[in-house]
């Protein structure tokens, strides 16, 4: 049974996992969907109620029914590097490749549907609430009046994008910023705005979840930091990430979240408040982990390799029961 | 409890359903996501473990918790008609709107995840096989040699796109065509090609499924038609669509398919063979039904209105259980 990794060629994080799988003697096929029709080929046959699919990469043929797991890391757009790329070819190739992979019984990290759903911030906040995690008071709105009233109830706010990175090429991270006490909310009418109670944090937490394994890292806040420096990605670093214990109640909530989201991998960001509470900020289903592993020495790549290599529950293939008819 | 219809202004098919809902006294909000920030506003608040969302359309305010059902008909791209449209604004608006709607307990026709998955032709074929429907022998491939061998086993073939309509503006339907006996399959290497055994059909079948209601229509084939005219959408019409009985075995298979696909609405195309077998061609989760209702007089719009108005099982909102913490 083979592990299929969908990612680009220059992905050193994937390299770390491939290395572990190699050490464990687990067969791996690494493939960039961008190379479809140009080094990568596929075929699927539906005859007399049965289905047989194959992938070929660099001349190596793999049966889709023999896939143990699929790791959707950083795949390129299907057929983007074909001899004559086009939107039509990409669409045809995407439907063919992912349509066939969806029919296998492989386990997914993460399944495309779960990954897509997991990106929705409003949905994240609601699932976090329902999972028992502490969520800072949040408003997402296009009503200036709702924003004004929220700022009266919660005077110390930050503003951040609803959707994550700005879709320019390459994508640009939009920093979380503090809202000035006398802010004018008129412009809220021109686009959804996410306002959130600022957590006066004593540390940032990155909790990486792989299956049921929780690997937490903590970075103490700079005691001299200005309260306007709210975004750890843009603040000067005074400490590396250090391994941390996960409070049992948070561990429970996070596993409940992962089950509700049907995710096998998630990178949670929390702000640790002055009261010690871990406040849920977001869960990135494709969050990087290389920098955490480097700082903390936590075996995240090895844990991912282990999950991919396991013979676990079948994934989300087609409906059960084979009631074949003639063809 | 309100029915939310996401569609464009000029959608006469939606008009038919709105009319029925109005007659039944069911509150309806019709909204085009393209009008977000320009006549349509939204707001969602996450405070102390609870979530409250609102939509405003033309000055009318609706609580998201009071939504009975959501009909995703022909929605425009979110904020596409904003004063200053942009890819970023569309992304932010999409995440905000659909992220909030995903948190409600409304029933969906169809849920966006189910709709997206249902478009994959390889997945459709596999699910149809597993549901016990008759599926013509099919190959989807980029291997010329596989195509050649398939044509030897099944000499009478048609070719059609894997993904449906060509993504030009407006989208262009690509006709299903017969494969010449001496076809050269070399070009298969340049893009996934779908080859399927041609059914010598005596009729086309359109089976519209709404919840558990099956409404079938049949159009007898023109006895004088040339065997190369395989695509009913492009062939001259000699008969209107006529109401038809669904064979019990097909009915079972179709309901199994709908359950496996988690769809509330689906338009199935079958080819009725000379042997009377209904051969599954595809299921379009957003297929038109107006032309069938016009020809057959079948109450499809009324059946959709009834489904949307029902107080049924909750949809696919967030995970169950409210375990709130402070905020």
Mean pLDDT for A227-255 is: 86
Does B202 reach chain A within 8 Å, measured CB to CB? no
Residue B174: give the domain boundaries. 137-198
Number of Cβ atoms within 10 Å of the Cβ of B297: 9
pLDDT, averaged across chain A: 91
List the 66-95 stretch of B: residues with Cβ below 8 A of A.
79, 82-84, 87-89, 91-95
Q: What is residue A231's predicted lDDT score, i.e. its pLDDT?
A: 75
Q: What is residue A324's predicted lDDT score, i.e. its pLDDT?
A: 42
A229's CB contacts (< 8 A; 6+ apart) are A222, A235
What DSSP string describes A125-187?
Answer: HHHHHHTT-B---EEEES-HHHHHHHHHHS-SEEEE-SSSSB-SSS-BPPPPEEPPTT---GG
CATH code of the domain in which B167 resides: 3.30.1490.20
Q: What is residue B164's predicted lDDT score, i.e. its pLDDT?
A: 75
Are residues A128 and A148 located together in one domain of the fold? no
Asked if residue B292 is part of any domain, the answer here is: no
Are residues A123 and A241 located together in one domain of the fold? yes
Are residues B144 and B118 located together in one domain of the fold? no
Taking contacts as CB-CB distances below 8 angstroms, the residues of chain A near B127 are 318-319
Q: What is residue A176's predicted lDDT score, i.e. its pLDDT?
A: 84
Does A63 reach chain B within 8 Å, measured CB to CB? no
What would the pLDDT profile of A42-93 be if each residue is shown by its tens digit? 999 999 999 999 999 988 999 999 999 999 999 999 999 999 999 999 999 9
Are residues A174 and A314 located together in one domain of the fold? no
Does B206 reach chain A within 8 Å, measured CB to CB? no
B204's CB contacts (< 8 A; 6+ apart) are B218, B219, B221, B232, B269, B270, B271, B272
Q: CA B250, CA B193: separation in Å to the nearest integer?
A: 28
What would the pLDDT profile of B21-51 be if each residue is shown by its tens digit? 999 999 999 999 999 999 999 999 999 999 9
Of the candidates A48, A138, A163, which has its C-beta nearest B92's C-beta?
A163
Asked if residue A300 is part of any domain, the answer here is: no
A313 pLDDT band, cuts 50/70/90, is low
A174 pLDDT band, cuts 50/70/90, is confident
Asked if residue B79 is part of any domain, the answer here is: yes
Q: What is residue A258's predicted lDDT score, i.e. its pLDDT?
A: 98
Are residues B159 and B33 located together in one domain of the fold? no
A225 pLDDT band, cuts 50/70/90, is confident
This complex has an ipTM of 0.89
Does A172 reach chain B within 8 Å, measured CB to CB? no
Does A51 reach chain B within 8 Å, measured CB to CB? yes
The last residue of one of the domains, among B181, B198, B215, is: B198
Q: Rounded to a whole number, what is the distance in Å from the CA of A10 to chain B's nearest CA?
A: 25
Are residues B70 and B48 located together in one domain of the fold? yes
Q: Rounded to whole angstroms, what are the CA distances from B143 to A45, A88, B205?
A: 12, 19, 32
Asked if residue B257 is part of any domain, the answer here is: yes
CATH code of the domain in which B53 resides: 3.40.50
| DSSP label at residue B36 | B
Beta carbons of A100 and B48 less than 8 Å apart? no
Q: What is residue B208's predicted lDDT score, i.e. its pLDDT?
A: 98
Beta carbons of A130 and B321 less than 8 Å apart? yes
Taking contacts as CB-CB distances below 8 angstroms, the residues of chain B near A162 are 92, 95-96, 99
Asked if residue A175 is part of any domain, the answer here is: yes
- Say how many residues make up chain B: 327
Q: Rounded to a whole number, what is the distance in Å from the CA of A144 to chain B's nearest CA?
A: 10
Q: What is residue B264's predicted lDDT score, i.e. its pLDDT?
A: 98
Are residues B94 and B129 located together in one domain of the fold? no
Asked if residue B184 is part of any domain, the answer here is: yes
Reply yes or no on whether the pLDDT at A253 is more than 90: yes
What would the pLDDT profile of B129-177 be if each residue is shown by its tens digit? 999 999 999 999 999 999 999 999 999 999 998 987 766 666 667 778 8
A108 pLDDT band, cuts 50/70/90, is very high
> What number of C-beta contacts closer than 8 Å exist between A and B?
273
List the 115-154 stretch of B: residues with Cβ below 8 A of A.
116-117, 119-127, 129-143, 146, 150
Are residues B123 and B225 located together in one domain of the fold? yes
Q: What is residue A242's predicted lDDT score, i.e. its pLDDT?
A: 96
A314 pLDDT band, cuts 50/70/90, is low
CATH code of the domain in which A264 resides: 3.30.470.20
Q: What is residue B167's predicted lDDT score, i.e. its pLDDT?
A: 64
3-state secondary structure at position B166:
strand
Taking contacts as CB-CB distances below 8 angstroms, the residues of chain A near B122 are 44, 46, 53, 95-96, 99-100, 102-103
Q: What is residue A227's predicted lDDT score, i.e. its pLDDT?
A: 73
Asked if residue A290 is part of any domain, the answer here is: no
Does A192 reach chain B within 8 Å, measured CB to CB? yes
Asked if residue A189 is part of any domain, the answer here is: yes
Number of Cβ atoms within 10 Å of the Cβ of B199: 21
Are residues A205 and A194 located together in one domain of the fold? no
List the 278-297 stretch of B: residues with Cβ below 8 A of A.
none
Residue spans of chain B under pLDDT 50: 315-327
Pinpoint the alpha helices (H) of chain A. 12-23, 87-101, 112-118, 121-130, 144-153, 248-261, 290-296, 300-309
Better-predicted residue by pLDDT, A178 or A181: A178
| Domain count along chain B | 3
Are residues A76 and A102 located together in one domain of the fold? yes
Number of Cβ atoms within 10 Å of the Cβ of A174: 15
Does B31 reach chain A within 8 Å, measured CB to CB? no
Q: What is residue A168's predicted lDDT score, i.e. its pLDDT?
A: 67
Are residues A8 and A49 located together in one domain of the fold? yes
Beta carbons of B92 and A143 less than 8 Å apart? no
Are residues A154 and A32 located together in one domain of the fold? no
Does A60 reach chain B within 8 Å, measured CB to CB? no
% of chain A residues with pLDDT over 70: 91
Reply yes or no on whether the pLDDT at A322 is more than 50: no
Q: What is residue A75's predicted lDDT score, i.e. its pLDDT?
A: 96
Element (H, E) at B112: helix B112-118
Q: What is residue A321's predicted lDDT score, i.e. its pLDDT?
A: 38
What would the pLDDT profile of A260-272 be if each residue is shown by its tens digit? 999 999 999 999 9
Beta carbons of A103 and B116 less than 8 Å apart? no
- Cβ–Cβ < 8 Å for B264, B210: yes
Let me know the angle formed at the C-alpha of B127 by A115 and A6, rounded to the nearest 5 degrees: 35
């Amino acid at each position: 049974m083979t592990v299929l990794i969908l990612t680009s060629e220059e992905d050193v994080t994937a390299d770390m996992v491939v290395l572990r799988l190699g050490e464990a003697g687990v067969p791996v096929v690494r493939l960039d969907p961008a190379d479809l029709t140009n080094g990568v080929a596929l075929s699927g046959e539906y005859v007399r109620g049965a289905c047989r699919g194959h992938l070929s990469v660099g001349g190596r043929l793999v049966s889709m029914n023999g896939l143990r797991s699929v790791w959707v890391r950083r795949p390129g757009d299907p057929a983007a590097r074909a001899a004559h790329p086009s939107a039509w070819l990409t669409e045809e190739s995407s439907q063919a490749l992912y349509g066939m992979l969806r029919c296998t019984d492989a386990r997914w990290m993460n399944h495309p549907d779960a990954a897509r759903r997991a990106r929705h911030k409003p949905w994240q906040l609601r699932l976090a609430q329902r999972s028992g995690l502490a969520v800072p008071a949040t408003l997402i709105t296009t009503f200036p009046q709702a924003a004004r009233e929220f700022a009266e109830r919660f005077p110390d706010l930050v503003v951040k994008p609803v959707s994550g990175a700005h879709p320019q090429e390459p994508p640009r991270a939009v920093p979380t910023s503090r809202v000035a006490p006398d802010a004018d909310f008129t412009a809220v009418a021109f686009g959804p705005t996410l306002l959130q109670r600022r957590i006066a944090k004593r540390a940032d937490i990155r909790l990486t979840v792989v299956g049921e394994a929780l690997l937490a890292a903590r970075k103490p806040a700079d005691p001299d930091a200005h309260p306007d420096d709210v975004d750890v990605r843009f603040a000067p670093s005074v400490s590396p990430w250090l391994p941390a214990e996960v409070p049992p109640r948070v561990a429970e909530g996070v596993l409940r979240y992962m089950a509700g989201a049907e995710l096998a991998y998630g990178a949670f960001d929390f702000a640790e408040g002055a009261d010690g509470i871990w406040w849920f900020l977001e869960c990135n289903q494709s969050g990087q982990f290389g920098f955490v592993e480097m700082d903390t020495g936590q075996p995240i790549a090895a844990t991912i390799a282990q999950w991919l290599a396991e013979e676990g529950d079948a994934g989300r293939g087609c409906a059960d029961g084979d009631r074949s008819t003639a063809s």
